[in-house]
Amino acid sequence: MKKKVGITACSALLVLAAALGGCSSKPADTSTQKNPQSKTEAQAPAKNELTLGVNGDPHSWDPIDTFLLDWSTVATSVFEGLVERTTDLKIQPGLAESWEFKDDKTLQFKLRQGVTFHNGEPFNAEAVKFTFDRLLGEEGKKGPQQANYASIDRVEVVNEFTVNMILKEKDPVLLTKLAGYGGVIVPPKYYKEKGDEYFNTHPVGTGPFKMDSYEKDNKVVLVKNENYWKQGQPKLEKVTFRFIPEATTRLAEMQTGAIDIMKKVEISQTESIKGMSELELMQVGSPTVYSIRFNTSMKPVDNVKVREAIAYAIDADLIIETLLGGYGKRVNSFQSDMSFGYDPNLPLRNYDPEKAKQLLAEAGVKEGTELDLFLPGTDATFKEVAQAIEMQLGQVGLKVKLNLVDASTFTSDLIPNGKAGHMYRNGWGGWTLDFDNTAYLMYHKGEFWNPDFYDEKVEELLKAERSTFDQEKRLAAFKELNQRLYELVPDVPLYQSINLWAVNKRVKGFQPPTDERIDLREASVE
């Protein structure tokens, strides 16, 4: 239960949130948006075309370059893996018709025949080998994906439609990883002829849609793959993803009919959407978790007592209740309760400002000590969360400076290079629904998004959970890992998100995805 201490602080937070518009349920003011189309100006919607308003451009469409949800939201329609994960999160055959372990370290795939890439190039065993040679080689080292497939030693061609994946070690989450991101298959001939830079902006896969055009920070246009191997799919002729970072602008475009689906509806916008008869507000549980991550190499947050004090100084329950309108869940570690490895018995650090002050005093931190908190400037909801955290930490004597930065720079430069201040917003989708994916990439020494944190015991437990297919043993290792991370406080888990989407009722067959990897194969427009 949330403690009743610090009522004055809570009241002050509510006043601040109201002043900032964070707790308002009024419709968003769209009067100042840049040139939103009016209903009379907007063209009549084409029957077989769909337009989505999404929040971010990943700036590279190469599967090995990114781990961003913004990439997968679009690229799931362009690329495919040997297996696929359905909207209900089940693994099923994709570009491979079947698979089996020939022995402990040989995973054999029988490939689907008659599939072609968008450029007409045939999909076969050589394409699979090329994909993984590239991912596991020098090119793959440049991005964040390689580490996720470190259990693979190599891929060997058995015949035109059979490959053996030779493993260095056991990997209990490998099949899920092969369903997306770095594991999707790319065309060898096209890539060799066009080169990496061209491929980044003109991707080719085997998916249901082909990328027709890409305008950086503006839009991507996909068109139907007439030769798609799944009969009768897709139903749409054309799909446009418009990159609209500001949620108020996305809502304005939704209200005029310029877009049909809006991703990442802000809490303050829900009443506006509910008030329009042609729109539907859809919500879906998400594995995405948000936390405050520390740079454990910077003083004073290199001291675990300071990190723990900050955890006690943040009233996450109040943030969920007021700023998120209840659209969020408390979590005790940096993973969702959908994740294998989540331990419901691990205690929460509930709001206790007096304990926070005590820990800061023990650590020798003087009142008024300044700390930087970095976050992407386009995340309107988390901006309000950060402002609340700024105020709450102020109540225990810490002065927080908020730094709003470009989203792409934030994820591709500041975080991996340890330049995101003392603290920063950390959001992670955990798309494999297994803590391995999150824990290894967040806490293993030297990973792309872990420039500073290291603990020998954490390394041992990460190795232990990856060394067996026995789920009971893995769960035991995760339980120890959760406890160790709880003690070290490399981050402060805040909440597991609930994603909100606005959908025009003329759109049929669309299901908001739990993992934000949109599947439009069955979608249509009336």
| pLDDT, tens digit (0-9, with 9 covering 90-100), for 38-82 | 343 344 555 799 999 999 999 999 999 987 889 999 999 999 999
Which residues, including other chains, have CB under 8 Å from residue 467's CB and lie 6 or more apart? 169, 170
Q: What is the pLDDT of residues 495-504, one digit of tens each?
A: 999 999 999 9
Torsion angle in degrees (nearest 10) through CA of 99, 103, 104, 106: -60
Residue 76 tokens read as 């799931």
- Looking at the predicted structure, is the pLDDT value of residue 20 above 80? no
What pLDDT is stored for residue 45 in this prediction?
A: 53
Query: Is 90 exceeded by the pLDDT of residue 366?
Result: yes
Chain segment 451-465, per-residue pLDDT in tens: 999 999 999 999 999
Between 14 and 37, the higher pLDDT residue: 14
Q: Is residue 16 over pLDDT 80?
A: no
Calculate mean pLDDT across residues 223-247: 96
For range 194-211, the mean pLDDT: 97
Contact status, residue 157 vs residue 129, Cβ threshold 8 Å: yes
* C-beta separation of 236 from 146 below 8 A: no
pLDDT at residue number 512: 93
Is this structure's pTM higher than 0.95? no
Q: What is the structure's pLDDT at 199?
A: 97
Check pLDDT > 70 for residue 412.
Answer: yes
Contact 83, 97 (CB under 8 A): no
Q: What is the distance between the alpha carbons of residues 128 and 403, in angstroms, rounded to a whole number?
A: 43
Rounded Cα gap, residues 459 and 405, in angstroms: 32
CA distance 290 to 458: 21
Residue 11 has pLDDT above 90, yes or no: no
92 contacts 138 by C-beta, under 8 angstroms: no
Q: Categorize the per-residue pLDDT at 14 as very low, low, confident or very high, splitting at 50, 70 and 90.
A: low
Q: Where are the beta strands (DSSP E) in 377-422?
A: 398-405
Q: Which residue has the higher pLDDT, 515 or 211?
A: 211
DSSP track, 60-90: ---GGG---HHHHHHHTTT---SEEE-TT--
Token representation of residue 239: 């799909």
Confidence of residue 10 (pLDDT cuts 50, 70, 90): very low
Q: Are 317 and 331 in contact (CB under 8 A)?
A: no
Please list, in sequence order, all residues whose beta carbon lies within 8 angstroms of the beta carbon of residue 443, skipping any fewer than 6 positions away.
Answer: 450, 453, 455, 458, 462, 485, 490
First CA to last CA distance, the chain: 48
pLDDT in tens, 79-135: 999 999 988 788 999 999 999 999 989 999 999 999 999 999 999 999 999 999 999
Q: What is the DSSP letter of 322?
A: I
Q: What angle do CA 103, 106, 108 make, to 5 degrees?
A: 110
468-490 pLDDT, tens digit per residue, is 889 999 999 999 999 999 999 99
Average pLDDT, the chain: 90
pLDDT (tens digit, 9 = 90+) per residue, 262-291?
999 988 899 999 999 999 999 998 899 999
Q: What is the DSSP letter of 116?
A: B
**Among 41-45, 176-180, 273-277, 328-332, which stretch is predicted with the lowest mean pLDDT?**
41-45
What is the layout of strands, in order, in the sheet containing 162-167?
Answer: 96-103, 106-111, 162-167, 152-159
